[in-house]
Amino acid sequence: MKKVIQIANLDCAACAAELQEELEGIEGVKEASVDFVGQRVSLDYDTEEAFKQSIYTISHFEEVEIVDGNAPRKKESRLKEILSIAIAAALFLPALILELVGGVSKWVSFGLYMGAFVAAGWMVVFAVARNLKATFDKGFHPSRLLDENLLMLIAAVGAFVLGQNMEGAIVMLLYEIGELLQSIAVGSSRGAIEKLMALKSDTAILVDEDGQREVAAEQLTEGDVILLRKGDKLPADCVLLEGETALDTKTITGEAYLREVRAGEEMLAGCVNEGAVVKAKVVRPSSESAVAKILSLVENSTAKKAKPEKFITRFARIYTPVVVLIALFVAVLPPLIINYASGAEWSLWVGRALNFLVISCPCALIISVPLTYFSGVGSLARAGVLCKGAVYLDSLAKVKVAAFDKTGTLTEGKFSVARVHGERAFRLAVAVERGSSHPLAQAFAGEESDLVCTNVKEISGMGLSAEVDGKPVLVGSERLLREQGIGFSPVTSPCSVIYVAEGGEYLGCVEIEDRVKADAKDALTALKRAGVARIAVLTGDTQERAAAALEGLPVDEVCAGLLPEEKPACARGLKAQGMLLYAGDGVNDTPVMAESDVAVSMGSLGSDAAIEASDLVLASDSLSALPRAMRGAKKTKKIVLENIAFSIGVKVVLMVLSVLGFIPLWAAVLGDVGVMLLAVLNSMRMRAKLK
């Protein structure tokens, strides 16, 4: 069983790692993921007892609260932190001026410095005390006690003990300023994701026999008729009943232009009606709408973490205890080895050890890496691409081969009868296709036939068999008739051709047309510019018809005449050429989706099975969103690597300089805070609109 739990007051990445570790230790919990940026806990558990224990653990972890995910979020208040910093600064600056001017008792400046330390550091002291209590209650664990709060407290108190009063006060002041700026940056990213919640419409105007009335969007069911005024947000996926209107779709597709909609065309929830007052029929309730898919997938995306995120979590658990030991060695070993008896020399190395401790805080990594992935998933969602986890961003960034299903993916998937060869063949086809759920059967939906068929059976990947007036009837592909030994002359056509035989004799055929999507060519060209080396199409059509239908598209390979069970083998061959992306829309695409490295489904046209099996969902079925998603994935991976390399590289240099005595304590704090803020600000580049 899986559950996503909305929480509040978890603002520390190290604390999130500790909570995750505690949850993973509960018997019956298969997997736990704690997202401090999104304020969510994702649980995969076996028993109700495990779930209850998890709830207890979460609600009793520091100040964490479990909140109703549907309730409006409270605006984050940072008044407490701002006041603490303001009071500390008001005490620190006079102390610094008095010390520089001189002529005043050192106790006066000491008192002011101590006041600044208390004003800025009281929250740090409380955090350390809370961790100590948890250590006594739950047993010692490095990640529980040895966090950045303890490191900063040791550094500040150590500075006062060594007589470096100014450094002791400024350690806490700079640290709290850094924490405030970090909180603002992370909160800003949370706000960007939470704007997605604005996609939901809370109410709708229902039109029934009693007239018009306002109802909650959740009350709408399939078949309900609703009224849409200019400026109204669509509360559910629906079909326009009459007339025409214009939709602002940028919240779903990321595109700024208005989309013209005519009677009979589908409109997705979350779009805004910018045209006339119209009526529409609900085709899917709000819980199953495109908006619901977006919100659900984004909320659950943080459960599937990328390798760098997992690495950073494991790294931080080992790293902090190790640097504390190194700092201890720096403070003790050099004086012992060199045999210094002078207290001054001991204070020199203790000071260097404190500098080393301050600089070694892993905040820049454990905050910026998850924040980058979180922002990356959000950026893709705003561009109309729903990513089920950060791990798929990494895979998407490495894609070299892209394969597509033809019907409904590269083509519109809206079939219509183009030409008829044989009147009885057409009547038989209409009668038999009534019993089929295949997309091609849509072409006959509005047609009439006086014939009645019985015993309709599907022949996988080839067509249908039935009985009409006691005679066996076959309706399907060229391959179906050949395998049944029926003689006929194939029709050369760029359309899909459905052949009809009755009583073992060929009667004729029906040509079904399906147009290539308007954005298919530009999307495939953009994919190649984004780094895809080879594009293939997997289809059950004949080679000739597939080639004709795909003429003009930048396709390198067409694998035609494939049955559904043959597609995975073809995908395995393509995977040998590089990381494979496969995009499809139907139930028969799920086996090849499972075989691919990155599976993409079409959001509104796609089947539920395809959406469930996929890693990415194109919410509006727009192929142009796919190259944007790939560029976004590459940008995310680049920023993650930049932050890892920058944070580790700068910190290693600063730690070496601190041991050698080239960096004072205040500069060490400034360096630590600076690295963290630069990494967080670099992460926020992912909030820019994808192009």
Q: Which pLDDT does position 251 carry in this prediction?
A: 62
Rounded-to-integer distance, Cα 283 and Cα 268, Å: 10
Which pair of tokens denotes residue 213?
């009335």
Residues with catalytic roles: 405
- Res. 474 pLDDT band, cuts 50 70 90: very high
Question: Mind listing the pLDDT tens digit for each residue in 595-606?
Answer: 889 988 876 655
Tokens of 633: 């994935």
The per-residue pLDDT for 143 is: 54
Q: Quickly count: other Cβ atoms within 10 Å of residue 505's Cβ.
A: 10
Locate 310 and state its tokens.
């997992």
- Of the two residues 87 and 492, the one the predictor is more confident about is 87
CA distance 604 to 607: 8
For residue 71, give both structure tokens.
Answer: 């309730």
Using the predicted structure, report yes or no on whether residue 263 has a pLDDT greater than 70.
yes
What is the CB-side half-sphere exposure of residue 442 using CA atoms within 13 A? 12
Judge whether residue 312 has pLDDT over 50: yes
Residue 673 has pLDDT above 60, yes or no: yes
551, 379 Cβ separation under 8 angstroms? no
Is a pLDDT exceeding 80 seen at residue 50? yes
Q: Mean pLDDT throughout 537-547?
A: 81
The interaxial angle of helices 363-382 and 165-194, nearest 10 deg, is: 20
Closest CA to 167 of 207, 214, 116: 116
Rounded distance between C-alpha atoms, residue 648 and residue 657, angstroms: 14
Does the pLDDT value for residue 229 go beyond 80?
yes
Task: Quick: pLDDT tens for 19-35.
Answer: 887 888 888 888 888 87
For residue 377, the tally of other CB atoms under 10 A from its CB is: 26
Q: What is the DSSP letter of 410?
A: I
C-alpha span between 302 and 399 (Å, rounded): 21
Buried b (16+ CB within 10 A) or exposed e, 324-348: bebbeebbeebbeeeeeeeeeebbb
Q: How far does CA 210 lie from the centroid of its chain?
A: 43
**pLDDT (tens digit, 9 = 90+) per residue, 318-356?**
777 788 788 888 888 887 777 665 555 777 888 788 888
Mean pLDDT of the chain: 80
pLDDT at 647: 85
C-alpha to C-alpha distance for 9 and 676, rounded to whole angstroms: 21
| pLDDT for residue 71 | 47
Predicted confidence band at 536 (pLDDT cuts at 50, 70, 90)? very high
Asked if 43 and 3 touch (Cβ cutoff 8 Å), the reply is yes
Residue whose tokens read 């009693």 = 210
Instruction: Work out the average pLDDT over 55-75.
Output: 71
* pLDDT > 60? residue 562: yes
Q: Looking at the predicted structure, is the pLDDT value of residue 528 above 90?
A: yes
What whole-number percentage of the chain has pLDDT above 90?
13
Nearest partner of 546 among 404, 672, 662, 374, judged by Cα: 404
Name the H helices within 505-607: 520-529, 543-549, 567-575, 590-595
Residue 657 contacts residue 632 (beta carbons within 8 Å): no
Tell whether the model's pLDDT for residue 616 goes beyond 80. Answer: yes
- Residue pair 149/131 in contact (Cβ under 8 Å)? The answer is yes
Q: Which residue has tokens 């060929």?
A: 506
Residue 493: both structure tokens together: 């056509």
CB 527 within 8 Å of CB 630? yes
CA angle (455, 460, 461) in 5-degree steps: 130
Catalogue all structural domains in the chain, each as residue range(s) with its CATH number: 2-74 (3.30.70.100), 79-194+300-363+638-687 (no CATH), 199-292 (2.70.150.10), 385-411+517-621 (3.40.50.1000), 416-513 (3.40.1110.10)
For residue 567, is pLDDT > 60? Answer: yes
How confident is residue 513, by pLDDT bands cut at 50, 70 and 90? confident
Answer yes or no: are the C-beta atoms of 226 and 206 closer than 8 Å: yes
| Range 451-457, long-range pairs (CB < 8 A, 24+ positions) | 451/427, 453/428, 456/432
Q: Is the pLDDT of residue 377 over 90?
A: no
DSSP-based three-state secondary structure for 670? helix
The pairing of beta strand 505-513 with beta strand 534-538: unpaired
Q: What share of the chain in percent tops pLDDT 70? A: 83
Q: Using CA of residue 608, residue 614, residue 615, residue 621, what is the dihedral sign?
A: negative
431 CB-side CA count, 13 A = 22
Range with the poorest average pLDDT among 309-323, 365-379, 415-429, 621-635: 309-323
* 235-258 pLDDT tens trace: 888 899 988 898 887 666 555 567
Q: What is the mean pLDDT of residues 137-141?
A: 61
Q: What is the pLDDT of residue 469?
A: 86
pLDDT of residue 666: 74
Q: What does the alpha-carbon distance between residue 494 and residue 59 come to, in Å, rounded to a whole number? A: 63
What span, in angstroms and rounded, lies between the C-alpha atoms of 394 and 172? 38
From the list 619, 517, 584, the residue with the least C-alpha distance to 250 is 619
β pairing state of 244-248 and 272-273:
antiparallel
Confidence of residue 69 (pLDDT cuts 50, 70, 90): low
Phi first, then psi: give them for residue 582, nearest 5 degrees: -125, 130
Q: What are phi and psi of 420, to 5 degrees?
A: -120, 130
Q: 428: buried, middle or exposed (CB in 10 Å: 19+, 13-18, 0-12)? A: buried
**pLDDT tier for residue 608 given thresholds of 50, 70 and 90:** low
Task: Give the residue among 652, 647, 636, 648 at the shortest CA–CA distance from 679.
Answer: 647
pLDDT tops 80 at residue 137:
no
pLDDT class of 306 with cuts at 50, 70, 90: low
pLDDT above 70: residue 684: yes
pTM metric for this prediction: 0.67
